Chains A and B, each alone.
Chain A
Amino acid sequence: MGQDLKKYLYFLGAILLFILFTLILYYKFDQIISLTKRQFLHLKIKDARHSAKVVEETMAREFPKVKEPTAYPKEALERLNAFLSSFIDEEYRYVYIIYQDEEKFFRYLADGSIDPKDRGEFTQKFFPLEEERWRQIFALQKPAYLTQGQIDSLWITYLYPLPLFEHHPTFLVMDISTKAYKHVNTILQNLKHYLESVIIFFGIVFLLILGLYFLIYKENKRNLIDPLTQVYNRNFLKKIEESIQLDQVAVAMIDIDYFKRVNDMYGHHIGDRVLQEVAKIIQQNIRKEDMLIRYGGEEFLLIARKESSDGVRRMIGRIHAMVESTPIKIDGHTINVTLSIGLNEIPHIDKNIFEAIKKADMKLYQAKHNGRNRIEILAPESAKEDPLLSFEKITELIINKQIEIHYQPVYNLKDPSKLFFEALARLKDGDRLIYPGSFLPIIARTNYYIDFNVALLEQVFETIERERATISINFRKSDFLDSKLSRIIEEIISQNRELAQYLIFEILEDEEIRGSDNAFFERIKQLKHYGVRIAIDDFGSGYANLHYFLHISPDIIKIDGGIIRQLKTNSKARAIVKSIVIFSRYIHASTVAEFIEDQETLQIIRRLGIEYAQGYFLAKPSRELAKTKPYKILQSVYANAC
């Protein structure tokens, strides 16, 4: 997960905490309201008691003392009503004096109520709502209060005993309105509503940010996840490259063997399903902290955390074995695939992850070269014996033109004078020769790759000019699709126009040629225009197909060495080679058999009508063009030819 997304999560967490805190406060708020109301009630009771004492003291001082309530003078009652009225305000709604008669009925002595409808008359019976409670209070003769939930607009009724009559308990009664209570209650409720608003507001903010987070998460996922296999794509590698600790990981390049055949045989739909299944198997066999990236078409990159010296190696072995032993069943087809894997166990010696990947890629290249369905490991011990070159070392050798070309002769089996040489480039590091498989993957897609090819071509032209010999050089399809490299190649050929007829480009069969590769075909035609000849290398293997022959006319077809090696034992191989020879004659192309390693194979290819032969049995590659020809070996061939 990206740092940006983590920040969002922290932010979301903070908001959530705030909401939780506010929610707790909200749910505790009823308690706060209750507590506040209780405090307010006590304040009001205290205030009422103070007023009641004023009434008590004033009555003792200014009003007559009589034995019976009914004996209270009329003039004094009017004064008393007026006096009680002076206490009436918005809070004290009713202030009146109630006594108990002989029959324990409650009756008015005086009433300060201003509204005549509410004013109780002298001796008028009064029936309180909680009559029994009133009787208890009158019996106790102590101040008390009642909460008036039942009477509209009244909050509390406060009763205060007045010692007016010996045999008739008398109380000052004060009905306190809900006005002040409502005011406080309104403030508290408003505060509660404010809290509700805060919760809702931050809830909405939280949801919006959550939504935003998911949008960003989805967008991130879409950018970082390969939609077909649901594993990471190369963007993910760019995102994490700086955070990878090379001393804690191993890097493996995993490639599905002969995947093209699956696509060709079953179609891309099935091919895609195979990719999905293989990705699934790999994922099932890696750990949570390992990262699987779809690196190319059928190529996966695994960055695995190293926990023990051979933990990753065991895991890679398990992946390799599981894929090999798991038939993939799709739409009624059962497809068996294998993996070639290059494992770099020592990426910590590399400067960055990409250099480590290149080394894993080189090991993958070795695995493929050594027959596929295998694991090649760059281990600490093998690195000591055969250290892989660093990018800097290779580029240094290329800049210093430490390129050594070895030439292997390709003999014409009918005419000894018609031979040509295949140029095989090596980098020279002191006494040590470095083969293309060890350095080309490292400099692939860099300017040094172009520099290397330019230097190679220039050296070959120097040899051609000096020796007037025909020389072939290996190129890949993608080299001609690289506009910069192909432009430089054409410039060099143009500068050596009179020597171009001695040059043969061997197009390697490791990249698929499609009918739609117009740019490639156009460039090949342009080169042929200069007189350069075109050979198809390893015909019968890899991506060899017949599209070539629809768009360009190759001059030479080099039959795959794997087929040639089987000529002695496999009649089908012989039939295939015979067919290629016949086909080549139809398109006026010469045929070359590589990997001639013994006399018997030489005789067979001669009998099959192949024109050229190449192999260690005839001549090994050497720095100089072979001046002496293997006449003894070829003698019988030539003799038969004659």
Chain B
Amino acid sequence: MKALVLLLVTFGLLFAGADRIRAQLIEYLALNLVDGREVVQVYITNERWRASVRPYLERVELVDSCERAQLIFATQVEEIPPQCRQKLIFLTSYPAYKRAKDSSIGALFWQKGRPNIIFNTRKITQLQIDLPDEFKKYME
């Protein structure tokens, strides 16, 4: 299990700033993990992340309450209110992901200046999420 996936984003995103890349990755993940929505509501616990990605989001609405969100990005599971812990959760640090493998469907974090994405295979399967083919190599 314990999928650890690094997503290499090569198309164009690499030439933009880190905040723009982060925003585009969030939007890319949200639109592919949450089906059938024109706009996906996302809750981000980290205020700095929230402020830095907001200007670049187009089809993602940042919400102030986790209850309204379809996808949650949290530094660690403990930051998420209990009533929302069953939702789709992405953790934003590798150590936090390792500590709470059962609670999150993956992680999006920066390591050595490079963006990384991990998909938790067990959780993805459990939730019957159909990942696009290009994501599959990042599952474990």
Interface residues of A (CB under 8 A from B): 93-94, 105, 113, 116-121, 124-129, 131, 150-154, 175
Contacts and interface: CB of A to CB of B under 8 A. Distances in A.
Contacts of B32: none
Contacts of B111: 117-120
A154 B5 CA distance: 22
Contact of A127 (B7, B18, B95, B109): B7
Chief secondary structure at chain A's binding surface? loop
B136 interface: no
A125 B4 contact: yes
A152 B140 contact: no
B113 interface: yes
B6 interface: yes
Interface stretch (B8-16, B48-56, B79-87, B126-134): B8-16
21 contacts: A105-B137, A116-B95, A117-B93, A117-B95, A118-B111, A119-B111, A120-B111, A120-B112, A121-B94, A125-B5, A125-B6, A126-B6, A127-B5, A127-B116, A127-B138, A128-B8, A129-B8, A131-B10, A150-B14, A152-B113, A154-B113
B104 to A, nearest CB: 16
For the complex of A and B, 5 pairs with smallest distance between CB atoms: A127-B6, A151-B113, A150-B14, A127-B8, A94-B112
Given A124-B4, A125-B4, A125-B140, A175 B14 contact: no
B68 interface: no
A150 B16 CA distance: 8
B8 A175 contact: no
A257 B93 CA distance: 107
Given A125-B5, A129-B14, A151 B140 contact: no
Given A117-B94, A124-B4, A175 B10 contact: no
Nearest to A175: B112
Nearest to B15: A150
B75 to A, nearest CB: 11
A95 B14 CA distance: 22
A93 to B, nearest CB: 8
A131 B113 contact: no
A113 B112 contact: yes
Contacts of B8: 127-129, 131
Interface string B9-36: 0100011001000000000000000000
B37 interface: no
Most-contacted residue by chain B among A129, A131, A175 (CB, 10 A): A129
Contacts of A129: 8, 10, 14, 114
Contacts of A153: 113
Given A93-B112, A131-B10, A152-B18, 11 more contacts: A113-B112, A117-B109, A124-B4, A124-B94, A126-B6, A127-B7, A127-B138, A129-B10, A129-B114, A150-B14, A153-B113
